[in-house]
Amino acid sequence: MKQDEIPIAFYCSSISWGGLEMNTLRYAQWMAERGWNVKLYCVQDSPLHKQALSSIITIRIVNRNRKYLDFTNAQRIKKIFYKDGIKLCWFRDTRDSELLGIAKFLSGGSFKLLYQQAMQLGVSKKDLFHHLRFKQVDRWISTLHFLADQVKTFTTVDPKKIHVVPLGVDDKNFGTTNHNKQESLAFFDLALGVQYAGVIGRIDFLKGQHVAIEALSKIHQRGIKLHLLIVGESTLNENNDYEKSLHSMVFDLGLKEYVHFKPFTNTVTHFYNAIDFFWLCSKGETFGTVTIEAMASSKPIIGTDSSGTPEILDFGKAGLLYPPMDSKVLAEKTIILVNDKRKTENLMATARQRFVENYSKERSLIKLEKIIIQLFENKIEM
């Protein structure tokens, strides 16, 4: 089948705005740009809806469905998909899984389901309830091999349906950016002539900004006056006690001159251009898009040895690894790179090459398009 013969619904009833929603919109836009017949189904006035208004995608409004047994909404979705001629529904939020499965069943299988996995599976989901839910999924896309292994271990999903396709990052926005270091430092009102480690992401304990500050203090104790750029904000409408504690921590450690808190910016290339070392301090990232962006930007990376980060960094070949929440080892790894320019340059080159070969937008889309075409041609490639 050809692209225009497979109308695709990107479905997301989430009313939040994070990586799951961002990647839903990103892939919908990318597929539309490549000539696919794409429509986005989202909740009225949700962050996803508001962000999508400026895109080229046709938008359909849906209700915020219940997580379980929402037959009324499923019937409505069945009718909307039939009217729009949808042949494939792409979704990432597990909350939507049951609804879409019911809608598919009610339609007599008139459309297929493609699930792009966003979360880890930590416990067995082989019970009848999950078996029936997952059975409706025609293709299960895991973003890393360790996630695919979890699916095979903890579910009854047919292994033939499981494919590994990493999330992609648009190469044109990184590595060949029009922003230079001086311009990016000025963007954040930072001084020239010093080195910066950088952390970007939501201000949250599990993201580990406190670990970065602790590591910076230990690095200073070794006589290396590295600076730290922290870009991000606390979750909207939630308390910011953790963020306040970080500022107190900086003051108590005498690092006020060296730690720079800046709000999140959509022009993230400024962040990567400004820093000399990228730190991933999260306790665990299923798929750290920021790590991929750092690789695309040819930055030396030090990331936590947990969840998907080791696989992304080729188990230490494309970036250094340290135990989660261990500021001492993070400091030691950073000092190694500060003192070994050749090692740093080798890591930068290896990271960039691994990005090109595995995590670029083009690589991701080519793999996904092949899977979709084969699905409708009733082919299974092992």
Residue 287 Cα to chain centre, angstroms: 5
Name the amino acid, one letter, at 302.
I
b/e map 87-112, b = 16+ CB within 10 Å: bbbbbbbebbbbbbbbbbeebeeebb
Name the amino acid, one letter, at 50.
K
Residue 381 has a pLDDT of 47
C-beta separation of 268 from 292 below 8 A: no
Please determine, looking at this structure, whether the domain spanning 3-168+361-376 carries the CATH number 3.50.30.30: no
How far apart (Å, rounded) are the C-alpha atoms in residues 251 and 246?
A: 9
Residue 380 has a pLDDT of 47
Phi, psi of 261 (to 5 degrees): -90, 125
Q: In the chain, what's the furthest Cα-to-Cα distance?
A: 69
Structural domain boundaries in the chain: 3-168+361-376, 171-359
Alpha helices in the chain (DSSP H): 19-33, 47-52, 71-84, 97-106, 128-135, 145-154, 181-187, 209-221, 241-252, 269-274, 289-296, 309-312, 327-339, 341-354, 361-376
Class of domain 171-359: alpha beta
Tokens of 255: 């690092």
Per-position pLDDT tens, the chain of length 382: 677 789 999 999 999 888 889 999 999 999 999 999 999 999 999 999 999 999 989 999 999 988 888 999 999 999 999 999 999 999 999 999 999 999 999 999 999 999 999 889 889 999 999 999 999 999 999 999 999 999 999 999 999 999 999 999 998 877 655 568 999 999 999 999 999 999 999 999 999 999 999 999 999 999 999 999 999 988 766 778 999 999 999 999 999 999 999 998 888 999 999 999 999 999 999 888 999 999 999 999 999 999 999 999 999 999 999 999 999 999 999 999 999 999 999 999 999 999 999 999 999 999 999 999 999 987 544 3
Q: Is the pTM of this model over 0.85?
A: yes
Helix 289-296 to helix 341-354 angle (10° resolution) is: 110
Residue 70's alpha-carbon distances to 12, 15, 66, 96, 356, in angstroms, are: 15, 17, 6, 10, 42
CATH topology agreement for domains 3-168+361-376 and 171-359 = yes
Residue 223 has a pLDDT of 96
